Amino acid sequence: MTSTDPTAERAQRVFEQWLSAFTPAVADGDLHMVGELVEPDGYLKDMLALTGGFRTFQGSTEIGLALVDAFPGVGLSNIRPSSDRIQPRCVRRSARDVVEGFFDFDTRVGRGTAFVRLVDAEPGPAKAWTILTALQELNGYEERIGPHRPEGLEYSQTFSGPNWLDRRNLDREYLDRDPEVLVIGGGQSGLILAARLVAQGVDVLVVEKTPRVGDNWRERYHSLTLHNEVWANSLPYMPFPPTWPTFMPKDKLAGWLEYYAEAMELNVWTSAEAASAEYDAEARTWRVEVRRAGHEPRSLTVPHVVLATGGASSIPHIPEIEGLSRFQGEVIHSSRYSSGSAYAGRRAIVVGTGNSGHDVAQDLHAHGVPVAMVQRSPTCVVSLKPSGTMVYAVYSEHPDIESIDLITASIPYPVLQTSYQWLTRKTCELDSELIDGLERVGFRTDYGPDGTGFHMKYLRQGGGYYINVGCSDLISAGEIPLVQAADIASFAEDGLRLADGTSLDADLVVLATGYLNQQEGVRRLMGDSVADLVGPIWGFDENHIMRNMWQRTAQPGLWIMGGSLVDGRVYSTFLALQIVAALRDVELGPGRDTAPSDSELSAAGTP
User: How many Å apart are CA 185 and CA 88, to the nearest integer?
Assistant: 40
* Torsion of the alpha carbons at 247, 252, 257 and 259, rounded to the nearest 10: -130
Type of residue found at 372? A
* 307 beta partners: 184, 560
The side-by-side arrangement of strands in the sheet containing 482-484 is 330-333, 508-511, 348-351, 371-375, 482-484
373 and 464 co-located in one domain:
yes
Closest by alpha carbon to 298, among 278, 279, 273, 280? 273
pLDDT band for 307, please (50, 70, 90 cuts): very high
Q: In the listed set 513, 531, 554, which residue is the last one of a domain according to the structure?
A: 513
Rounded to whole angstroms, how far apart are CA atoms 180 and 194? 11
Give the per-residue pLDDT at 1: 38
Binned at pLDDT 50, 70 and 90, residue 607 comes out as very low
- Rounded Cα distance, 10 and 13, in Å: 5
Average pLDDT rounded to a whole number, residues 491-496: 95
Among the ranges given (162-166, 240-244, 405-409, 418-422), the one the predictor scored with the smallest mean pLDDT: 162-166
pLDDT for 578 beyond 50: yes
Taking residues 53-76, report their average pLDDT. Answer: 90
In the chain, the amino acid numbered 492 is A
- Judge whether 463 lies within some domain: yes
pLDDT value, residue 6: 84
> 197 pLDDT exceeds 50?
yes
The region of weakest confidence among 17-31, 246-260, 360-374, 428-442 is 17-31
- 487 in the same domain as 382: yes
Start-to-end C-alpha separation, the chain: 57
CA distance 101 to 81: 8
Asked whether residue 303 falls in the same domain as residue 324, the answer is no
| Domain that includes residue 183, residue range | 177-313+517-583
Whether 350 and 371 have beta carbons less than 8 Å apart is answered as: yes
**Per-residue pLDDT tens over the stretch 322-351:** 999 999 999 999 999 999 999 999 999 999
Counting the structural domains of the chain, the total is 3
In a domain, 165, yes or no: no
| The pLDDT value given to residue 94 | 85
Listed residues 489, 513, 537: the one ending a domain: 513
* DSSP-derived pairing of the beta strands 204-207 and 181-184: parallel
Q: Where are the alpha helices (DSSP H) in 120-200?
A: 153-156, 164-171, 188-199
pLDDT confidence tier of residue 70, bands split at 50, 70 and 90: confident
Cβ atoms < 10 Å from Cβ of 187: 25
Cα angle value 570/575/577 (rounded, 5°) = 105
Q: What does the pLDDT look like over 178-192, one tens digit per residue?
A: 999 999 999 999 999
Peptide bond into 378 cis (omega under 30): no
10 Å CB burial of residue 156 (0-12, 13-18, 19+) is exposed
Question: E strands along 165-244, which residues?
Answer: 181-184, 204-207
Give the CATH number, domain containing residue 103: 3.10.450.50
Does residue 254 belong to any structural domain of this protein? yes
- pLDDT per position as a tens digit, 482-491: 999 999 999 9
Looking at the fold, whether 431 and 495 belong to one and the same domain comes out as: yes
Residue 600 has pLDDT above 60, yes or no: no
* Reported pTM: 0.93
Would residue 384 count as lying in a domain?
yes
CA distance 540 to 297: 38
CA 49 vs CA 152, 324, 567: distances in Å: 33, 53, 19
pLDDT in tens, 213-269: 999 999 988 888 998 899 999 999 999 999 999 999 999 999 999 999 999 999 999
Collect all residues with Cβ–Cβ distance below 8 Å to 305 and sequence separation of at least 6: 181, 182, 184, 277, 286, 288, 557, 558, 559
User: Is-contact 300 178, C-beta < 8 A?
Assistant: yes
Mean pLDDT of the chain, nearest integer:
92
Give the mean model confidence (pLDDT) for residues 89-102. Answer: 93
Residue 157 in any domain: the answer is no
168 is a domain residue: no
Strand ordering across the sheet containing 272-280: 272-280, 285-292, 298-302
Peptide bond into 590 cis (omega under 30): yes
CA distances from 349 to 95, 126, 357, 366 (A): 44, 59, 10, 15
**Do the domain assignments include residue 370?**
yes
Are residues 469 and 558 both part of a single domain?
Answer: no
Same domain as 183, residue 303 = yes
Closest CA to 221 of 364, 324, 329: 364
Kindly state the average pLDDT of the residues 88-103.
Answer: 94
Q: pLDDT confidence of 478, banded at 50, 70, 90?
A: very high
**192 and 277 share one domain:** yes
Together in a domain, 326 and 248: no
274-281 long-range CB contacts below 8 Å, 24 or more apart?
274/182, 274/184, 274/207, 274/525, 276/525, 277/305, 277/525, 277/526, 278/526, 278/527, 279/526, 279/530, 279/555, 279/556, 279/557, 279/558, 281/556
Q: Could you check whether the bond before residue 386 is cis, i.e. omega within 30 degrees of 0?
A: yes
Domain of 419: which CATH number?
A: 3.50.50.60
Q: What is the pLDDT of residue 151?
A: 84
- Residue 565 above 50 pLDDT? yes
Shared domain for 327 and 276, answered yes or no, is no
For the CA atoms of 269, 272, 276, 282, what is the dihedral angle to 10 degrees?
Answer: -10
Confidence tier at 4 by pLDDT (50, 70, 90): low
Give every strand in the sheet of 503-505, ordered side by side. Answer: 488-492, 495-498, 503-505
Phi and psi based region of residue 152 (left: phi greater than 0; alpha: psi -120 to 50; beta: remaining): left
Residues 225 and 136 occupy one common structural domain: no
**What is the spatial distance between Cα 440 and Cα 471, in angstroms, rounded to a whole number?**
15
Per-residue pLDDT of 143-193, as tens digits, reads 999 888 988 887 777 677 888 999 999 999 999 999 999 999 999 999 999
DSSP 297-353: -EEEEESEEEE-S-SEEEEE-----TTGGG--SEEEEGGG---GGGGTT--EEEE--
**Residue range 574-595: mean pLDDT, rounded:** 82
229 and 283 assigned to the same domain: yes
Is the backbone of residue 354 left (phi > 0), alpha (psi -120 to 50) or beta?
Answer: beta
Question: Residue 222 in 3-state DSSP?
Answer: coil
pLDDT digits (tens, 9 = 90+) for 500-537: 999 999 999 999 999 899 999 999 999 999 999 999 99
pLDDT band at 593 (very low <50, low <70, confident <90, very high): very low
Number of neighbours of residue 94 by Cβ within 10 angstroms: 17
166 domain residue, yes or no: no
Same domain, 371 and 431: yes
The confidence score (pLDDT) of residue 125 equals 82
The pairs formed by 519-522 with CB atoms below 8 angstroms and a separation of 24 or more are: 519/313, 520/313, 520/315, 521/307, 521/309, 521/313, 521/314, 521/315, 522/307, 522/558
| More reliable by pLDDT, 600 or 460 | 460
Last residue of a domain, one of 466, 493, 513: 513
Q: Residue 102: helix, strand or coil by DSSP? A: strand
Q: Quick: pLDDT tens for 119-129.
A: 987 677 899 99
Q: What angle (nearest 5°) sits at the alpha carbon of residue 208, between those of residues 204 and 214?
A: 105
The DSSP secondary-structure symbol of 268 reads E
